[in-house]
Structure 1
Amino acid sequence: MRANGEYEQNTSESNQTQVHPDVVAYVASHMPDQDDLIDVAELFKAFGDLTRAKIICALAQSEMCVSDLSVLLEMNQSAVSHQLRMLKQVRLVKTRRDGKVRYYSLADEHIQKMFQVAFEHIMED
């Protein structure tokens, strides 16, 4: 603002807004459906909890039952079961029954790959 109360017009190139319609149109045509993006956001939200991250790391090594995970994580079985339910809901883990015991494992190899890529990313300098 100038001393006389008038606003200065900023004409510097760095402050000008320029839209590239061809880029916007290209990207818009390649964007996933909103429902799919919501599912991806939910998936990343599941990764965003320390306990669930520990469970995923553990299950990347071996399938485990709730009792094993509870000892490993030093948590009660109810809390571990709650986290496993959430991971199962977003299809990160699957279960297998053997008699009365339910064993948990990663749903597929993609889960381990996503975690591996995340670790590679945080280890970069």
Structure 2
Amino acid sequence: MNTTDIFYVEDDVDYAFFMQSAMQEVQDTLNLTIVDDGVEAATTLSKFEELQIKPKLILLDLNLPGLSGLDILKFIRENPYFKSVPVILFSTSDDPNDIKSSIEYGANAYLAKPNGYENLVECLHSIHDFWFNRHLRLN
């Protein structure tokens, strides 16, 4: 298994495809790993820990089959190996309760998924600029 710069959990196959394309436009050297449900996310994270692979950033959809984004967030924050990895909830929900819960569970940020491909690219540029260029890395 290769290193992973960004670990993304997204059950919408079309959105995952757009994300992969948009990320290539932002930074074509980033390694993006995508899984499509919560159970697979937990399994993959456990394998990452076993292989000593630590993503630089984790993006989680909120509503996932198997385990929810909040369940995965809780799993991440309870695991000392991943505790310092920034986690962004990346969801279509703009429900204040979802946002509040995400922050309470330890998300570093909550972003509403942008509409349209160009807006996604712009959003990813901002994410990349902050988390990969400006943020003081802990891991």
The reply to whether TM is greater than 0.5 is: no
TM-score (ref. length: structure 1): 0.24
The structure having more radius of gyration, on CA atoms, is: 1
Greater helix share, 1 or 2?
1
Q: Which has the higher contact order (CA 8 A, sep 6+)?
A: 2
- Per the normalisation by structure 2, the TM-score is 0.23
